[in-house]
Amino acid sequence: MSPRAGEMLLREVRPIVRASLARGAVKTVGAEDLEELEADAMAQAANMIESAETAGKTVSASSVAFYTLQALRSGRRFGCASRTDAMSPAAQLDGRSVLVSMDEPLCVSDDDDDDEITLHQCLASSGEDPAQASARELDWDGVFAAFDAGERDLLLKTAAGTPGIDLALRYHVTPARVTQRKRRIGETLKSAMGPEVLADCVREPIWEGYMRAYREKRACRYSTEKSKGGKSCRKSS
């Protein structure tokens, strides 16, 4: 783009576009704001002016601003002009897709606004966070180095749910001896990974408990309303 074309873009086209956007000439879509639309309009206008210069044509600032605003109204954006992409403003203007914030409360009939459930909570994975699992694996690798082969085997068998009597038969010792070894392993784990490490291994994730309590509360409220005056239910903690 020539210096003269750049001056026209900034001094003539930009004020027209900015004033039109401020008057609501273009409808924002999704999370778009006026600053984002203005930046996109400048990119499209610059591309339009450069194409005209390459073809040896002369265009006016008003024409460039007009067609740029028309492109924005139709949903075209500098980075994407497809009408089939679900993320495209054009597809949303056509009613082919709708973007919803993951933190937006769902439209459910509930008198308790403090317990509004969000789409993010509904779609949350029931599995463990891979980042936390990887971090724990690194921590456990370091702790495992402090145990001998027998203690590692006892720890893994205990974690797998093997009964104490079966462990006693496996190691040819009494159940009391197995319990004693478990306690020593537990003390080693607490000193290396903190006093809450054993509780953390079996504690329910906070978000999962919240979801379960929310479902129980709604099911109980539905049952109470259906029975017309039944006993109220208390929310799970």
Task: Count other C-beta atoms under 10 Å from residue 22's C-beta.
Answer: 10
Confidence band for 45, pLDDT divided at 50, 70 and 90: very high
Q: Is the pLDDT of residue 80 over 90?
A: no
The reply to whether the predicted model has a pTM over 0.75 is no
CA pair distance 48, 60, nearest whole angstrom: 11
- Alpha-carbon distances, residue 3 vs 11, 14, 49, 64, 77 (angstroms): 12, 15, 12, 17, 25
Q: What percent of the chain has pLDDT over 90?
A: 18
Q: Is the pLDDT of residue 128 over 70?
A: no
3-class DSSP assignment, residue 235: coil
For the chain, the structural domain boundaries read 3-93, 146-202
For residues 25-52, average pLDDT: 88
Q: In this structure, what token pair is assigned to residue 79?
A: 């980075």
Q: Is the pLDDT of residue 235 over 80?
A: no
CA pair distance 186, 147, nearest whole angstrom: 11
pLDDT score recorded for residue 144 = 79
Q: In this structure, what token pair is assigned to residue 118?
A: 């969000």
pLDDT score recorded for residue 224 = 76
